[in-house]
Amino acid sequence: MSNLFQAANASGGVSGPPSAGEYATDRLFRGIALSSAFVIILLVAYILWELGREAAPAVGEYGLSFITGSTWNASKAQFSVLPEIWGTLYSSLLALVLGGAFGIAIAIFLTQDFINHRLATVFRTIVEMLAAIPSVVFGLWGIYVLIPLLKPGAEWLHQSLGWFPLFGTDLAGPGMAPAALVLAIMILPTVAAISVDAFRRIPYKVKEAAYGMGTTRWEAILKVMLPTASSGVLAALVLGFGRALGETMALAMLIGNSNQISLSLFSPANTLASLLASNFPEAGRVEVQALMYAALVLLAITFLVNVAGLAVQQYTIRKFEGKP
Amino acid sequence: MNATAEALFVAEPFQAAGDVVIDCTVNKIFYGDFLAVRDSVVPIEKKKITGFIGPSGCGKSTVLRSLNRMNDLISVFRFEGNVIYHGQDIYAKKVDPVVVRRYIGMVFQQPNPFSMSIFDNVAFGLRLNRFKGDIEERVERALQRAALWKEVKDKLKNSGLSLSGGQQQRLCIARAIATEPDVLLMDEPCSALDPIATRQVEELMLELKENYTLAMVTHNMQQATRVADTTAFFSVDISQGGRTGYLVEMGPTRQIFEDPREQLTKEYISGEFS
Ligand SMILES: Nc1ncnc2c1ncn2[C@@H]1O[C@H](COP(=O)(O)OP(=O)(O)OP(=O)(O)O)[C@@H](O)[C@H]1O
Ligand SMILES: [Mg+2]
Whole-number percent of chain B with pLDDT over 70: 96
**Any residues with CB less than 8 A from the CB of B269 and at least 6 apart, and which?**
B53, B221, B233, B256, B257, B260
Number of A–B residue contacts, CB under 8 Å: 78
Which neighbouring-strand residues pair with B80? Answer: B28
For residue B107, give the DSSP letter.
E
Q: Are B264 and B273 in contact (CB under 8 A)?
A: yes
Q: How far apart are CA B174 and CA B172, in angstroms?
A: 5
Q: Least CB-CB distance to A209: which of B100, B108, B161? A: B108
Q: Which residues of A touch B98 (CB under 8 A)?
A: 211, 214-216
Q: Which residues of B touch A213 (CB under 8 A)?
A: 101-102, 105, 124-125, 128, 175-176
Class (C level, CATH) for A84-284: mainly alpha
- pLDDT for B205 equals 92
**Any residues with CB less than 8 A from the CB of A184 and at least 6 apart, and which?**
A94, A95, A96, A98, A99, A102
Is the Cβ of B131 closer than 8 Å to some Cβ of chain A? no
Q: How far apart are CA A54 and CA A81, in angstroms?
A: 17
CA distances from B141 to B135, B159, B177 (A): 10, 19, 10
pLDDT by residue for chain A (324 residues), tens digit each?
Answer: 578 888 888 888 888 889 999 999 999 999 999 999 999 999 999 999 999 999 999 999 898 999 898 889 888 888 999 999 999 999 999 999 999 999 999 999 999 988 888 999 999 899 889 889 999 999 999 999 999 999 888 889 988 888 888 888 888 889 999 999 999 999 999 999 999 999 999 999 999 999 999 999 999 999 999 999 999 999 999 999 999 999 888 999 999 888 889 898 899 999 999 999 999 888 888 999 999 999 999 999 999 999 999 999 888 888 887 765
Chain A: nearest CA to B27, how far in angstroms? 24
Closest CA to B147 of B210, B92, B194, B101: B194
| Range of weakest confidence among A186-200, B48-62, B186-200 | B186-200
Q: How far apart are CA A55 and CA A291, in angstroms?
A: 8
Q: Regarding beta strands B230-237 and B244-252, do their DSSP bridges make them parallel or antiparallel, or are they unpaired? A: antiparallel
| Range of weakest confidence among A18-27, A166-175, B51-60, B144-153 | A166-175
Domain holding B197, by residue range, is 20-269
CA distances from A265 to A165, A242, A273, B79, B251 (A): 9, 21, 19, 56, 74
Q: How far apart are CA A85 and CA A273, in angstroms?
A: 10
The alpha-helical segments, DSSP class H, found in A176-284 are: 176-200, 204-212, 217-219, 226-246, 249-254, 272-279
Number of domains in chain B: 1
Ligand 1 pocket test, candidate residues B33, B34, B40, B66, most atoms within 8 A of CB: B34
Closest CA to B84 of B21, B178, B15, B128: B21
| Range of weakest confidence among A95-109, B112-126, B233-247 | B233-247
Give the model's confidence band at B3: pLDDT under 50 very low, under 70 low, under 90 confident, else very high. very low
Whether B125 lines ligand 1, by a CB cut-off of 6 Å, is: no
Residue B10 pLDDT > 60: yes
Domain ranges of chain A: 84-284
pLDDT tens-place string over residues B11-36? 888 888 889 999 999 999 999 999 99
Distance B170 CA to ligand 2 centre (A): 18
Q: Which ligand does the CA of B71 lie closest to?
A: 1
Q: Are A250 and A181 in contact (CB under 8 A)?
A: no
- pLDDT for A324 equals 58
Whole-prediction pTM: 0.86
Q: How far apart are CA A308 and CA B78, in angstroms?
A: 49
Q: Is residue B5 part of a domain?
A: no
- pLDDT for A323 equals 66
Any idea what the CATH number is for the domain that residue B241 is in?
Answer: 3.40.50.300
Q: Are B28 and B82 in contact (CB under 8 A)?
A: no
Residue B5 pLDDT > 60: no
Q: How far apart are CA A241 and CA A303, in angstroms?
A: 11
Residue B251 pLDDT > 60: yes
Q: Are B212 and B181 in contact (CB under 8 A)?
A: yes
- pLDDT for A11 equals 87
Q: How far out from the chain centre does Cα B171 lie? A: 17
Q: Is residue B11 part of a domain?
A: no
Q: Is residue B124 part of a domain?
A: yes
Which neighbouring-strand residues pair with B23? Answer: B43, B84
